[in-house]
């Protein structure tokens, strides 16, 4: 049950295209369009809002968006948010959005501001850092859980995760909490009823004029869709030797070379970057550490030379095979957003527009349809091998090699072939000694 607290709990949400909408670039390549104007609160912000509503009855929502997007913002009211504020401005980048929110909150006493770690500005992740710098409020990144103390709600117990450790500490408001996807189970984010949606359409949204004419820190001169591969070469589903050749050659070519580089969806220039905070929350008088534990060792999907990724087309019984392939290639497993949302894989494996961005030597896509939101996270992959039963699947447009076949038949054969080759090499090496 949510508790009544004296602390001001704010959730900053942003409006984005619905994850299932079709995204396109207009003919002049100077604007991104969404068919049907399908706009919604971003999925991660919905998770953050659900967490806030679960711990406090005093939750206020603020967003920077044109008044014309007010309908999408009312979804927060349908979810249970009692107060909603719309700053009537077009957030041209994360800096503009953060500047407006910082100006709006400057006279608020001791606020606790929650936001998703990726939002505004094409999921750049700059918003919480800009907000911290412009408001002068301490920032905690990687937050996966929090709760106010009943006896003193201005103090919160906060848990966060990094690649190296997880820690829990007490922190005093004001504070900004940048939350990751573990903040609230995505599959438990409730969908409002039709009655709640109708009532939300009549609820009040407080319209706030912009605080000033803030200049964006990024300048966009044009946009383009992510380029498809020149052509896909289809391999016979029973030819495990060719698949193993692709697998091994891609990893061999990656040795000693860099995976850095980026294929942006826009052209332009960055006018100013947000400062990098080495320690998002410097230890101070307002912080008391409670617990700190090293994270279990795992290969970071963002830097792995091999990423073995599965979609909803992968039967849960096949995931041990995907994990085996990843281990054999010193790689990492990954998944699409629906797989993570279904609770089948952990949050940090999610690759996509609102997840991790990867650039491996080989991206093995199994049972992945190829939605643009997922492609955005793996487009920098050097080589892509896709396995799908549908020969018309979108994923093949972004693949170098394709296999039209059942993963339940293809994966065991590929694993066995790679094991046979590994064993042969090991035996040959032993005989030469």
pLDDT in tens, 251-288: 887 664 444 433 334 445 545 555 544 444 444 546 66
Task: Give the count of beta carbons closer than 10 Å to the beta carbon of residue 350.
Answer: 24
Domain residues of the chain, as ranges?
8-219, 228-259+303-431
**pLDDT band at 29, cuts 50/70/90?**
confident
pLDDT in the model for residue 186: 80
Does residue 138 surpass a pLDDT of 60?
yes
As its CATH architecture, domain 8-219 has: 3-Layer(aba) Sandwich (3.40)
Strands 59-65, 83-88: pairing is: parallel
Does residue 426 surpass a pLDDT of 70?
no
Spatial distance between the Cα atoms of 336 and 212, rounded to a whole number of angstroms: 39
Cα–Cα distances (Å) from 360 to 230, 306, 401, in that order, read 19, 5, 15
Q: What is the pLDDT of residues 93-127, one digit of tens each?
A: 889 999 999 999 998 888 899 999 877 766 677 89
Q: Which of 104, 101, 81 is nearest to 203 (CA)?
A: 81
Residue 355: Cβ-neighbour burial (10 angstroms; 0-12, 13-18, 19+)? buried
Strands 111-116, 8-12: pairing is: parallel
Q: What is the pLDDT of residues 66-83, one digit of tens each?
A: 998 888 899 999 999 999
The answer to whether the beta carbons of residues 376 and 353 sit under 8 Å apart is: yes
Spatial distance between the Cα atoms of 426 and 119, rounded to a whole number of angstroms: 48
Spatial distance between the Cα atoms of 73 and 14, rounded to a whole number of angstroms: 8
**pLDDT band at 431, cuts 50/70/90?**
very low
Spatial distance between the Cα atoms of 113 and 102, rounded to a whole number of angstroms: 10
Options 1.10.357.10, 3.40.50.1220, 3.30.1220.10, 3.40.50.10320; CATH of 228-259+303-431: 3.40.50.1220
Spatial distance between the Cα atoms of 426 and 433, rounded to a whole number of angstroms: 11
Spatial distance between the Cα atoms of 240 and 247, rounded to a whole number of angstroms: 10
Spatial distance between the Cα atoms of 127 and 123, rounded to a whole number of angstroms: 9
**pLDDT band at 289, cuts 50/70/90?**
low
* Sheet containing strand 362-366, strands side by side: 233-234, 401-404, 383-388, 362-366, 306-310, 332-335
For 210-223, give one letter per residue: b (16+ CB within 10 A) or e: beeebebbbebeeb
The answer to whether the beta carbons of residues 234 and 402 sit under 8 Å apart is: yes
pLDDT in the model for residue 266: 47
Same fold, 8-219 and 228-259+303-431: yes
Which tokens belong to 294?
């090293």
The answer, as to whether pTM is greater than 0.75, is no
pLDDT in the model for residue 185: 85
For 14-30, give one letter per residue: b (16+ CB within 10 A) or e: bbbbbbebebebeeeee
């Amino acid at each position: 049950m949510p508790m009544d607290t004296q602390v001001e709990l704010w959730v900053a949400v942003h409006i984005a295209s619905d994850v299932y909408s079709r995204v396109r670039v207009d003919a002049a390549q100077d604007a991104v369009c969404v068919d049907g104007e399908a706009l919604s609160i971003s999925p991660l912000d919905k998770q953050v809002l659900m967490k806030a509503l679960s711990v406090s009855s005093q939750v206020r929502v603020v967003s920077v968006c044109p008044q014309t997007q007010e309908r999408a913002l009312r979804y927060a009211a349908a979810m249970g948010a009692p107060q909603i504020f719309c700053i009537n401005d077009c957030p041209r980048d994360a800096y503009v959005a953060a500047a407006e929110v910082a100006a709006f909150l400057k006279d608020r006493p001791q606020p606790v501001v929650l936001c998703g770690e990726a939002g505004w500005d094409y999921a750049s992740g700059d918003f919480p850092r800009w907000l911290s710098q412009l408001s002068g409020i301490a920032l905690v990144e990687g937050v996966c859980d929090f709760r106010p103390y009943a006896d003193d709600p201005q103090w919160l117990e906060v848990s966060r995760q990094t690649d190296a450790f997880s820690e829990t500490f007490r922190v005093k408001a004001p504070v900004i909490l940048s939350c990751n996807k573990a903040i609230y189970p995505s599959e438990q984010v409730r969908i409002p009823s039709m009655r709640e949606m109708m009532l939300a359409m009549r609820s009040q949204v407080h319209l706030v004029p912009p605080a000033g004419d803030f200049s964006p820190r990024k300048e966009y001169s044009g946009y383009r869709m992510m380029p498809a591969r020149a052509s896909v070469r289809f391999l016979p589903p029973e030819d495990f030797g060719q698949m193993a050749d692709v697998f091994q050659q891609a990893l061999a070519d990656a040795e000693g070379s860099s995976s850095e580089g980026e294929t942006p969806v826009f052209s332009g220039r960055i006018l100013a970057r947000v400062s990098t905070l080495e320690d998002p929350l410097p230890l101070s008088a307002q912080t008391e550490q409670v617990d700190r534990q090293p994270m279990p060792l795992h290969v970071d999907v963002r830097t792995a030379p091999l990423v073995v990724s599965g979609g909803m087309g992968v039967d849960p019984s096949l995931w041990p095979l995907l994990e085996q392939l990843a281990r054999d290639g010193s790689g990492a497993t990954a998944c699409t957003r629906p797989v993570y949302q279904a609770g089948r894989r952990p949050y940090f494996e999610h690759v996509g527009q609102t997840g991790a961005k990867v650039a491996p030597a080989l991206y093995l896509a199994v049972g992945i349809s190829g939605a643009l939101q997922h492609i955005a996270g793996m487009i920098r992959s050097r080589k892509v091998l896709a396995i799908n039963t549908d020969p018309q699947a979108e994923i093949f447009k972004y693949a170098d090699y394709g296999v039209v076949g059942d993963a339940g038949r293809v994966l065991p054969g590929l694993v066995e072939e790679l094991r046979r080759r590994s064993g042969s090499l090991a035996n040959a090496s032993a005989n030469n000694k």
